[in-house]
Amino acid sequence: MEKVEIGKRRWLFLPVETIARELTAKTLLACAIAERGWGVIVGEKKVVRGKQEKLPRGTFIEKSISPGRIADIEKAHAAGNRVSAWCEEGLVYINRDEYGQRRLEPQSFQAIDYFFAWGRQQAEDITAILGPSDKIILSGNPRFDLLRPELRNIFAPSAQKIKEKFGKIILINTKFSDVNNNRDIPDFDFVSYLCSAGKIRTKEVESLMRRYIGFNRKIFQLFQELVPVLSRKYSEHTIIVRPHPSESHAPWLELSRDLPNVQVIFEGNVNEWLMAADIMIHNNCTTGIEAFLLDRPSISYRPLQDPVVEHELPNEVSLQAFSLEELLALVSRFAEEGDSILPEEREKQKRYAQQYIANIDGNLACDTIGDYLDRLDLPEAAAVYPLDKENAVTFKDLKRKMKRLLGISRKSDTSRYYKQKFPGITLEEMQSLKDKLSEASGRFADIRIAPVEDNTFCFYRP
């Protein structure tokens, strides 16, 4: 492949763990920062983090500062890089104390330049836990930039194809990875795992999380009972079950086996499915917030309630159904009668959401983040991509080969779990995504993409 020489500039690194959730938003951010004259590396986290010695010096934006993240931050610092962060899970959580233990590592917070907060509520909670700091920036998150009227059309062509393929759709987004995990570990105890990882440090939070998981286990069962009911009542619709990225598909596939209009699908960006569906049903899920931001109707199905462990935000920006009868009435309102969200319903939801989401309107999160990154004192460096392939055999290669020879190597559950979250991405797919963002925004026409390594790409302006 022909080498691309990229002139001296500052550099930003964006590791991606879950393609369906992160890639489009990080591509938007990459384009916005490259527009400022930076080089931006976007790609598989094991490449972006693991090959720092082969990349220019620059700054990372990490996905969290949760317990254990300090190792990645120190590795970046040792390589001569700086680090900022946001929290992918920082919009929806049970309460301040639980969030602090599971998602905030004081050592990591002290080691970063900026923390880009979703909105005022998260910023206030972090301040209450870690103390006031001018490194907390009320930026919002690029994931929600994509849902604004000026950018959401990037999902319209895919949404139209989905409609053409499946017809009328009732979408069910699930969030049961803590009771239906894709790791395939028998009797996997999620709370014990969190305790051993240092993400739960008090008996109070351990008790709270066990209550939360017990609640989710009951809701999981009720959602499984819901699917056949919807299948029978709305036989002219396709019922799409979209599992959480870390969730096992097996129970849903087994459930749908004898239901001809039910399909279990996890592909593409959730936003194109939200735009294609007549109505979306969830419980305690961020997709309820995404539907609200897209002006699409969603129902928070709450046949059981426990305010201690439920998330207020996705409930408050959705229509709520507390029984199967209420749910079916709301589904019929949108799926059969073609109704839309009323202005007074929308205004009430927006007032509530403004406390949590900084970029509902005003500046795009990408541009606010760019303003602060521009303030960092970073070296400029040139680069040539793609990187040369490594020919040397490493100790890990020898160890892997020896396991195969001994017949003890197999695809691990962890590997399957990882591949479901990151199935891979090609240069053509990245170019297509960039072109869609350019067409929707009227920006980024002069941004180029060069392959760096497998699943990893450089965005730059020549």
7-16 average pLDDT score:
97
Which tokens in the block code for residue 275? 């735009």
Question: In the prediction, which pLDDT does 107 show?
Answer: 97
The phi and psi torsions of 41 (rounded to 5 degrees) equal: -100, 120
Provide, rounded to the nearest whole percent, the portion of the chain with pLDDT above 90: 85
Q: What is the pLDDT of residues 384-393, one digit of tens each?
A: 999 987 654 4
For residue 209, give the nearest of 309, 307, 97, 323 by alpha carbon. 309
Question: In the prediction, which pLDDT does 421 show?
Answer: 76
135-153 average pLDDT score:
97
Antiparallel, parallel or unpaired: β 4-9 and 381-385:
antiparallel
Domain 4-145+360-394+424-460 shares a fold with domain 156-186+213-353: yes
299-316 average pLDDT score:
97
Q: Does domain 156-186+213-353 have CATH number 3.40.50.2000?
A: yes
- SS3 string, the chain, reads CCCEEEEEECEEEEEECCHHHHHHHHHHHHHHHHCCCCEEEEEEHHHHCCCHHHCCCCEEEECCECCCCHHHHHHHHHCCCEEEECCCCCCCCCCHHHHHHHHECHHHHHHCCCEEECCHHHHHHHHHHHCCCCCEEECCCHHHHCCCCCCHHHHHHHHHHHHHHHCCEEEEECCCCCCCECCCCCCCCHHHHHHHCCCCCCHHHHHHHHHHHHHHHHHHHHHHHHHHHHHHHCCCCEEEEECCCCECCHHHHHHHCCCCCEEECCCCCHHHHHHHCCEEEECCCCHHHHHHHCCCCEEEECCCCCCCCCCHHHHHCCEEECCHHHHHHHHHHHHCCCCCCCHHHHHHHHHHHCCCCCCCCCCCHHHHHHHHHCCCCCCCEEEEECCCCCCCCCHHHHHHHHHHHHCCCCCCHHHHHHHHHCCCCCHHHHHHHHHHHHHHHCCCCCCEEEEEECCEEEEECC
Question: In the prediction, which pLDDT does 190 show?
Answer: 86
Q: In b/e form, how buried is each residue of 79-96, taking b as 16+ CB within 10 angstroms? A: eebbbbbbbbebbbbbeb
Q: What is the pLDDT of residues 99-134, one digit of tens each?
A: 999 999 999 999 999 999 999 999 999 999 999 999
Q: How confident is the model at residue 409 (pLDDT cuts 50, 70, 90)?
A: very low
Q: What is the pLDDT of residues 338-369, one digit of tens each?
A: 888 999 999 999 999 999 999 999 999 999 99
Question: In the prediction, which pLDDT does 410 show?
Answer: 43
pTM > 0.85: yes
Q: Are 417 and 183 in contact (CB under 8 A)?
A: yes
Residue 58 predicted with pLDDT over 50: yes
Rounded CA-CA distance 175/172 in Å is 10
**4-145+360-394+424-460 CATH fold:** Rossmann fold (3.40.50)
To the nearest whole number, what is the mean pLDDT of the chain? 93
Question: In the prediction, which pLDDT does 411 show?
Answer: 46
The neighbouring-strand residues paired with 448 are: 460
223-233 average pLDDT score:
98
176-192 average pLDDT score:
82
Q: Are 357 and 122 in contact (CB under 8 A)?
A: no
The neighbouring-strand residues paired with 279 are: 170
Domain boundaries along the sequence of the chain: 4-145+360-394+424-460, 156-186+213-353
Question: In the prediction, which pLDDT does 99 show?
Answer: 96
Q: How confident is the model at residue 406 (pLDDT cuts 50, 70, 90)?
A: low
Bigger pLDDT: 188 vs 152: 152
Rounded CA-CA distance 176/198 in Å is 22
